[in-house]
C-alpha cells in the first residue's frame, strides 16, 4: 500500500524538524503509542495499539531514521509485529518545505502487511491509515499552536 499526503504546520521548519526528532513529542502525538524509546541517535523501539476494522493489535517494533538532510528531509523505516494480527513493514520519506504559514510537511509511505491484516481490504486499510495520520498531524500541529498562544 502506498500513501502520500501533505500538511501545513504553524511553525518554522527548524522547530518542526526538532519536534519530529523528539521522542516525547512523537509518543504524545502518535495515536495508540504507549512506548517510544530511543536507542542511539537514529533508532527507536515503539509499541502502538491500533484497530483496523475487526483486527485490534499491539505492534512492537523498531523504527530507524536515515538519509537525513536537516532541516529538509529524512527517511523512516520500520517493522512491527502484532502477534496473530500479523506484521507491518515499510518506509516513509518526509519532506519539510518553508511555507508562508510555517512549514509544509509532505510524506510518501509504502507499507507491506502480513497475517490477518493482509486479509483486510485495501480500502479499509487506506482509510484507517489516513485517519490515524490525520490524528497524528492534528496532535502534532496543536503542539505548535499551544506554543504560540
Boundaries of domain holding 135: 2-148
Farthest CA pair distance, the chain: 46
pLDDT per position as a tens digit, 91-108: 999 999 999 999 999 999
For residue 76, give the CATH number of its domain: 3.30.530.20
Q: In the chain, which residues have pLDDT < 50? A: none
**Which residues, in sequence order, are CB contacts of 75 under 8 Å at separation 6+?**
65, 66, 67, 91, 92, 93, 94
The whole-number pLDDT of residue 145 equals 86
Q: Sign (positive/negative) of CA torsion 112, 118, 122, 126?
A: negative
CB of 5 closer than 8 Å to CB of 108: no
- The structure's pTM equals 0.90
| Domain count along the chain | 1
Amino acid at each position: 500500500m502506498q500513501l502520500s499526503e501533505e500538511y501545513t504546520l504553524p511553525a518554522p521548519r527548524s522547530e518542526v524538524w526538532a519536534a519530529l526528532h523528539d521522542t516525547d513529542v512523537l509518543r504524545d502525538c502518535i495515536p495508540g503509542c504507549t512506548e517510544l524509546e530511543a536507542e542511539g541517535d537514529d533508532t527507536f523501539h515503539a509499541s502502538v495499539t491500533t484497530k483496523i476494522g475487526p483486527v485490534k493489535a499491539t505492534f512492537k517494533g523498531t523504527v530507524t531514521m536515515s538519509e537525513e538532510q536537516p532541516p529538509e528531509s529524512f527517511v523512516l523505516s520500520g517493522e512491527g509485529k502484532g502477534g496473530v494480527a500479523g506484521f507491518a513493514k515499510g518506509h516513509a520519506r518526509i519532506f519539510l518545505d518553508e511555507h508562508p504559514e510555517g512549514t509544509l510537511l509532505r510524506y510518501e509511505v509504502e507499507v507491506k502487511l502480513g497475517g490477518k491484516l493482509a486479509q483486510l481490504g485495501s480500502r479499509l486499510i487506506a482509510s484507517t491509515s489516513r485517519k490515524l495520520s490525520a490524528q497524528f498531524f492534528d496532535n502534532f500541529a496543536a503542539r505548535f499552536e499551544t506554543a504560540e498562544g
